[in-house]
A and B are shown apart, each in its own frame.
Chain A
Amino acid sequence: NAGVTQTPKFQVLKTGQSMTLQCAQDMNHEYMSWYRQDPGMGLRLIHYSVGAGITDQGEVPNGYNVSRSTTEDFPLRLLSAAPSQTSVYFCASSFDFTGESPHEQFFGPGTRLTVL
């Protein structure tokens, strides 16, 4: 299994440009999520999905869109990039929480985004 894969690894954008960060997993996980990591702030949840066709907002959703058309893929779209979106973005996946015990989340290697 490849696990969770993310592309690209690095990206530089100009203010106002749009782009899509790709995330895919081959573990048949229902739950997928996007986080951004900023120095001194840990990881903050942007959007998440509990299955194909179902998405919801996390802690910092503004400026980002997601969709989940398949179990495997969960792309993150930046609509109009701003310097404040300069960050490292991580995608994660897990089996859905079944109530008795939360499942381990598996993280991708990250995408480092710079917005000029």
Chain B
Amino acid sequence: AQSVTQLGSHVSVSEGALVLLRCNYSSSVPPYLFWYVQYPNQGLQLLLKYTSAATLVKGINGFEAEFKKSETSFHLTKPSAHMSDAAEYFCAVSWYNQGGKLIFGQGTELSVKP
């Protein structure tokens, strides 16, 4: 069965430090992969998506993610964390001909220390 796993339910970094949020997927067919961000008491907002055009995907707010088929991973990174990055981040997967259905990971809460 297709699934998504996010390693680490909580990640804490210092302001200015590298942000690395991990996502691994399990799929028997080529996936489409997404990262969403959720700020407190709000809905989800798309950060970036992988759709097989390029393995390194750049998103909003300085985030990027790299699709690595051999590792079945789609980790999210940002070179320098900002206080405003504190939020919950969700990795999600979909597949061709799935009508837009998304399977979400469990989420990773990012804290940024001053």
Contacts and interface: CB of A to CB of B under 8 A. Distances in A.
Contact of A42 (B41, B45, B51, B105): B105
A22 interface: no
Interface of B is mostly: loop
Given A40-B9, A99-B96, A104 B46 contact: yes
A50 interface: yes
Interface stretch (A11-19, A60-68, A79-87, A105-113): A105-113
B53 to A, nearest CB: 8
Contacts of B46: 104-105
A34 B46 CA distance: 17
A105 B100 contact: yes
B111 interface: no
Interface residues of A, number: 29
Given A104-B46, A107-B44, A109-B43, A41 B100 contact: no
Contacts of B77: none
A4 interface: yes
A109 B107 CA distance: 17
Closest 3 CB pairs of A and B: A107-B43, A42-B104, A107-B44
29 contacts: A31-B99, A33-B101, A40-B9, A40-B106, A42-B90, A42-B104, A42-B105, A42-B106, A42-B107, A43-B44, A43-B92, A44-B104, A45-B101, A45-B103, A48-B99, A50-B99, A58-B101, A90-B43, A96-B100, A97-B97, A97-B100, A99-B97, A101-B32, A101-B51, A102-B51, A103-B100, A104-B46, A107-B45, A109-B42
Given A41-B106, A101-B32, A107-B36, 6 more contacts: A42-B4, A42-B90, A42-B104, A43-B44, A97-B98, A102-B100
Interface of A: 4, 31, 33, 35, 40-45, 48, 50, 58, 90, 92, 94, 96-97, 99-105, 107-110
Interface of B: 4, 6, 9, 32, 36, 41-46, 49, 51, 53, 90, 92, 94, 96-107
